[in-house]
Structure 1
């Protein structure tokens, strides 16, 4: 069961990270496009600014799971080094539970916010609902929950291992 969950986590984290990288490429490409249209062609495309923000929001929330999986988000290095093995696990459990609680809140309220935002449209892109920007919160949080659980089951703390 543990092995299957960790394989599932690796798969989901890879997908989330690949999509986060894609969103970075989209944002950077649209930024260049925006510069060319605004300053060279002197015909700014307002819609590109909205899509840049949209892609950066998705990039952030899809990149968080990889950080959680690596133990980079909830890390108290000095305290971990001072505690014996069992104390470290207790500290990791407390950190995991706190992070899971936060991600659970983000899933719950993020979904509610996205559903309420369905009636809004993006400025400059009136045909696209704000739902698609807001839903990045619960989607990213679900991926992050998988990473948090996987990190607790199979901890990865490179900063601790290289510092000793």
Structure 2
């Protein structure tokens, strides 16, 4: 729901920017709306990171799965769990990198909206924590329901 709301904000900002730049200019009204570009960019950043966190929970991230799906379960399942653990480690690394960005963002202000950029940079550490939690939840779910993790995306609910 949050990601859908963010998408609506991005769509509104981009539509307004197009209307102001092309339609109103062609009609003889020369106004500008510089806030639309920043709003769309910052909202898109949050939308992508939160959307990726949802994708992790449902095993819908882009992956080359044909290899582990073709090998026997005795080989493919441990490989898939190993990859999930590597992803969790990577998300942890990105969490720490995101914290470094927060320090940088506290000293930067966006030129048009005038907000501290750390509000934008919070998207990374927040989403990485959610990705770690969602990865662990996916692992726990496949183990508790005795499902083959290689096919976890096939069991994900359709929204």
Q: TM-score, normalised by structure 1?
A: 0.78
Q: 1: distance between equivalents of 2:87 and 2:122?
A: 19
Instruction: Flag structure 1 segments of 5+ consecutive residues without an equivalent.
Output: 1-17, 160-164
Larger RCO (alpha carbons 8 Å, 6+ apart): 1
Aligned to 2:137: 150
Q: What per-residue deviation string (whole Å, max 9, x for no partner) do you get for residues 68-117 of structure 1? A: 11212264422222332232321121111111111101111101211221
Unaligned runs of 5+ in 2: 143-151
Residue of structure 2 in register with 1:104 after alignment: 92
4+ long deviations beyond 3 Å: none
Residue 13 of structure 2: aligned partner: 30
Q: Which has the higher helix share?
A: 1
> Equivalent residue of 1:122, what SS?
coil
Root mean square deviation, CA, Å? 1.7
Farther off after superposition, 115-124 or 82-91: 82-91
Aligned counterpart in structure 1 of residue 41 of structure 2, from 39, 53, 56: 53
Larger Rg computed on CA atoms: 2
> Of the candidates 53, 57, 64, which is equivalent to residue 65 of structure 1?
53
Give the C-alpha shift of residue 131 in structure 1: 0.3
Q: After superposition, give the CA deviation of every residue in 1:134-159 in whole Å (9 maximum; x if it has no partner).
A: 11011111111111112222242218
Which of 111, 116, 127 does residue 140 from structure 1 map onto? 127
1:105-120 residue pairs with structure 2 within 5 A? 105-120=93-108
